[in-house]
Amino acid sequence: MQNKVVVITGASSGIGKALAQKYAAEGWDLVLAARRIERLHALEKELKNTNILSVKTDVSLVDDCKNLIDKAIERFGKIDVLINNAGISMRAIFENVELSVLHKTMDVNYWGTVYCTKFALPHLLESKGSLVGVISVGGYVGLPGRTGYSASKFAVRGFLDTVRVENRRSGLHVLVAAPGFTSSEIRKSALVADGRQQGETPRDENKMMSAEECAGHIYRAVKRRRRKIILTVVEGKLTVFMAKMWADLVDGVMYRMFASEPDSPLR
HSE at residue 199, side-chain half, CA atoms within 13 A, is: 3
Question: Has 140 been annotated as catalytic?
Answer: no
Catalytic residue (one of 23, 110, 140, 149) = 149
Residues contacting residue 136 through CB under 8 Å, at least 6 positions apart: 149, 150, 153, 178, 179
For 197-236, letters b (16+ CB in 10 Å) and e give ebeebbeeeeebbebebbbebbbebbeeebebbbbbeebb
For 168, counting Cβ atoms within 10 Å of its Cβ (0-12 exposed, 13-18 middle, 19+ buried), the class is exposed
Count of CB atoms situated within 10 Å of the CB of 42: 12
Q: Look up residue 142 and give its amino acid.
A: G
Q: CA triplet 196, 92, 156: central angle to 5 degrees?
A: 95
Residues designated catalytic: 149
